[in-house]
Amino acid sequence: MTIRLLLVDDHAVVRSGLKMLLSGQKEMEIVGEAASAHEALTETERLRPNVILMDIGLPDKTGIEATREIKAKFPDVKIVALTIHEDEEYFFQMLAAGASGYVPKRAAPDELITAINAAADGEVYLYPSLAKLLVRDYLSAERPAEEKANLDGLTDREHEVLIHLAEGASNDEIAAALVISPKTVERHRENIMRKLNLHSRSELVRYAIRKGIIKA
Amino acid sequence: MTIRLLLVDDHAVVRSGLKMLLSGQKEMEIVGEAASAHEALTETERLRPNVILMDIGLPDKTGIEATREIKAKFPDVKIVALTIHEDEEYFFQMLAAGASGYVPKRAAPDELITAINAAADGEVYLYPSLAKLLVRDYLSAERPAEEKANLDGLTDREHEVLIHLAEGASNDEIAAALVISPKTVERHRENIMRKLNLHSRSELVRYAIRKGIIKA
DNA sequence: ATTGGCATGGGGTGATGTCCCCATCAGCGG
DNA sequence: CCGCTGATGGGGACATCACCCCATGCCAAT
């Protein structure tokens, strides 16, 4: 299936260059162009592209806002940011707006093509300098998860039971999952609660989420 | 500056293939190979490569553990995961272990080369199918900020009760705090659970944390 | 060889939770 | 004025939980 592309950039020269570059791709067809956020929205409505290449610096609004508006109306359209900006702020905002890729204009042509294909497949291409930022963010957010090591002296089995408890399972459900008696589950639960000084399942859930043992 | 590469994979055939593939690259030199996690550690110590291509399925330990150990001793070595696994679990664990890239073996040769160069430059290359997972994780983590508004049709009083429930309070404790009967608290709890389609306090706690109603 | 931790279970009791039934009263919009 | 919703409260049935008692078997360390 060929990919229907819409180019959004306020510089005609850039659009021409992209057309040159992408016209060689068999699987891609450039169905339209837009020079502003407003045009991008109307052209998306009219042409229904699969993938939009979106500049960030546009005359009327930012490409970030344009992305947000287009994704709100046409959630299936994949949008790849193509911009000179490698700022952390723009990048994260673009992700939050629903972008399926982020490629700086300095990237190699092959990388843009990879990004477009990935977006069309419902995946995400991130240029390495930006991917680094996202990974850094992930690691800072997940740092609590590293505390899996110090679990206040819980044994392996207790830790396993704790995961199920935190996910809201009943004793019987846990027993079935671990193929042990409900009584043993209860035994483990008691030990866990005593070691962690907790006294209800609700407290266990909060503890587990705080420690990164499970996600909320 | 040329990149000094160490190949870690228990299959000699794979290593040969990689040598063939990468020998064409001027900027790269393969300085060694390892067929196990243990060998990877000793060879890293002996050869001091810049970048390691790390398989995950190794005979003695997983490539994830090997990565963790190597990064602990040699934090400057960049490690790129090269594996058949595209599982979410492996991917996130590899990131947490300190990997600078993640490339499935089905990727195009160019992508591997891009990944190695990105890693050597201190950046991160993520294959699109994995990048998607990380973006999804990012978006789910960032959501709480905006969602405080929509509370799925809970009344003010119900929301108030929900806060106490999520903090692990018993019906009696909530009744005392709000100066109403425990029975009324129960009534509110029932309504909350029905509206949110939840069926235990544990689920309520997770819901509240996910929505940012309370902190973990 | 004995001690100790770990995992495995059974019994019991009282507290708590989950989910129904019922009702009253105030306020608000049609 | 009537019906609706929100907030209040009581009764009861049954399930689950929280916390005690007890025991056995295993493995590792002393």
List of chain A residues whose C-beta atoms are within 8 Å of the C-beta of residue B167 = 202, 206
Non-local CB neighbours of A71 within 8 Å, separated by 6+ positions: A77, A79, A97, A98
B72 pLDDT higher than 80: yes
Q: CB–CB of B126/B134 below 8 Å?
A: yes
The per-residue pLDDT for A142 is 60
User: What 3-state DSSP class applies to B29?
Assistant: strand
- C-alpha–C-alpha distance, residues A186 and B109, integer Å: 53
CA dist., res. A163 & res. A84, Å (int): 45
> Is pLDDT at A3 greater than 80 in this prediction?
yes
Average pLDDT score over residue span B141-163: 69
Q: Map residue B54 onto helix, strand or coil.
A: strand
**pLDDT > 90? residue A189:** yes
pLDDT of B1 higher than 80: no
pLDDT, tens digit, for every residue of A15-44?
A: 999 999 998 898 999 999 999 999 999 999
Q: The dihedral of CA B117, B118, B119, B125: what is its sign?
A: negative
**Does the pLDDT value for residue A125 go beyond 70?**
yes
Distance CA(B146)–CA(A75), nearest Å, equals: 19
Residue B57 tokens read as 């399925």
What residues contact B166, with CB distance under 8 A and at least 6 apart? Answer: A202, B204, B205, B207, B208, B209, B213, B214
**CA at B82, C1' at D13: how many angstroms apart?**
59
Could you tell me the pLDDT band of residue A214, with boundaries at 50, 70 and 90?
A: confident
* Strand D bases with any atom < 7 A from protein Cβ: 6-12, 16-22
- B184 by DSSP, 3-state: which? helix
Residue B149 reports pLDDT greater than 80: no
Which CATH superfamily, name and number, covers A3-140?
Response regulator (3.40.50.2300)
Residue A180 has pLDDT above 90, yes or no: yes
A interface with B, Cβ–Cβ below 8 Å: 92, 95-96, 101, 110-111, 114-115, 118, 121-126, 128-129, 131-132, 134-135, 137-139, 141-142, 145-146, 165-168, 170, 200-206, 209-210, 215-216
Reply yes or no on whether the pLDDT at A51 is more than 90: yes
Confidence of residue A203 (pLDDT cuts 50, 70, 90): very high
Q: Which range has the worst mean pLDDT, A163-177, B61-75, B139-153? A: B139-153
DSSP B181: -
Number of A to B CB contacts under 8 A, please give it.
113
Asked whether B23 and B5 are in contact (CB, 8 A), the reply is: no
The structure tokens 């089995």 sit at: A157
Segment among A51-55, B138-142, B207-211 with least mean pLDDT: B138-142
Q: Which residue does chain A place closest to B165, by CA atoms?
A: A202
- Contacts for A119-122 with beta carbons within 8 Å, 24 or more apart? A119/A51, A119/A78, A119/A79, A119/A80, A120/A3, A120/A50, A120/A51, A120/A78, A121/B128, A122/A78, A122/B132
pLDDT of residue A78: 96
Tell me the Ramachandran region of residue A41: left when phi exceeds 0, alpha when psi lies from -120 to 50, beta otherwise: alpha
The confidence band for B181, taking pLDDT boundaries of 50, 70 and 90, is very high
The mean per-residue pLDDT over the stretch B133-151 comes to 66
Tokens 């399972």 identify what position? Answer: A169
| Closest CA relative to residue A3, chosen from A91, A101, A93 | A101
pLDDT tens for B7-21 read 999 999 999 999 999
What is the dotted CATH code of the domain comprising B146-210?
Answer: 1.10.10.10
Taking residues B33-41, what's their average pLDDT?
A: 94
pLDDT(B32) > 60? yes
Nearest CA to A105 out of A45, A56, A44, A175 is that of A56
**Closest nucleotide to B183's CA, by C1' atom?**
D9
- pLDDT at B146 exceeding the cut of 60: no
Q: Which pLDDT band, with edges at 50, 70 and 90, does A146 fall under?
A: very low
pLDDT surpasses 80 at A149? no
pLDDT at B108 over 60: yes
CATH no., domain A150-210: 1.10.10.10
Among A80-84, A180-184, A187-191, B141-145, the least confident range: B141-145
Model confidence over B187-213: pLDDT tens digits? 999 999 988 889 999 999 999 988 878
Question: Which two structure tokens, joined as six digits, stand for A94?
Answer: 């673009």
Average pLDDT for residues A48-56, to the nearest whole number?
96
| pLDDT recorded at residue A159 | 87
Question: Secondary structure of chain A in the HEC alphabet?
Answer: CCEEEEEECCCHHHHHHHHHHHHCCCCEEEEEEECCHHHHHHHHHHHCCCEEEECCCCCCCCHHHHHHHHHHHCCCCEEEEEECCCCHHHHHHHHHHCCCEEEECCCCHHHHHHHHHHHHCCCCEECHHHHHHHHHHHHHHHHHHHHHCCCCCCCHHHHHHHHHHHCCCCHHHHHHHHCCCHHHHHHHHHHHHHHHCCCCHHHHHHHHHHCCCCCC
Output the CA torsion sign for B38, B39, B45, B50: negative
Domain definitions of chain B by residue range: 3-140, 146-210
Closest alpha carbon within chain A to B114: A128
Give the model's pLDDT for residue A148.
45
Answer for A193: CB within 7 Å of strand D: yes
Quick one: which residue's CA is nearest to D15's C1'? A170
CA–CA dist B102, A149 (Å, integer): 24
Beta bridge partners of A32: A6
For the segment B78-91, the average pLDDT, to the nearest whole number, is 90
Query: For residue B140, what pLDDT is reported?
Result: 74
- Closest CB from B96, B170, B205 relative to A146: B96
CB atoms within 10 A of CB B179: 6
pLDDT of residue A40: 96
Q: Which of A124, A146, A216 faces B131 most closely, judged by CB atoms?
A: A124
Mean pLDDT over residues B149-153, rounded?
A: 61
CB B115 within 8 A of CB B128: no
**Does residue A49 carry a pLDDT above 60?**
yes
Say whether pLDDT at B102 is over 90: yes
Q: What is the mean pLDDT of chain A?
A: 90
Q: How far is CA A91 from the centre of its chain?
A: 12
- Chain B residues with CB inside 8 Å of A118's CB? 128-129, 131
Q: Grade residue A187 by pLDDT with cuts at 50, 70 and 90.
A: very high
Query: CA quadruple A128, A129, A134, A136: dihedral positive or negative?
Result: positive
**Structure confidence at residue B143 as a pLDDT band (50, 70, 90):** low
Is 80 exceeded by the pLDDT of residue B133? yes
pLDDT of B35:
94
Binned at pLDDT 50, 70 and 90, residue A87 comes out as: confident
